[in-house]
Amino acid sequence: MTGEMACARCGRRVPVRFGVMPRRCACGAEFEWAPFGGTGRVAAFLMALALLMSPLFVLVWIVRSLLQDSIVLHVVALAAALYWLRVCETLLVRLGLLRMEGVDVA
Residues 39-48 have pLDDT tens digits of 888 888 889 9
Query: Angle 89-13-103 (CA atoms, 0-180°, nearest 5)?
Result: 50
What number of residues does the chain have?
106
Q: Could you say which DSSP state residue 23 is in?
A: S
Higher pLDDT, 1 or 45: 45
* Total number of domains constituting the chain: 1
Q: Residue 2 above 70 pLDDT?
A: no
Q: Is the pLDDT of residue 1 over 80?
A: no
pLDDT over threshold 70, residue 35: yes
State the average pLDDT over residues 85-92: 88
pLDDT value for 51? 92
Domain ranges, residue 32? 5-105
Provide the CB-side half-sphere exposure for 10 (13 A, CA): 11
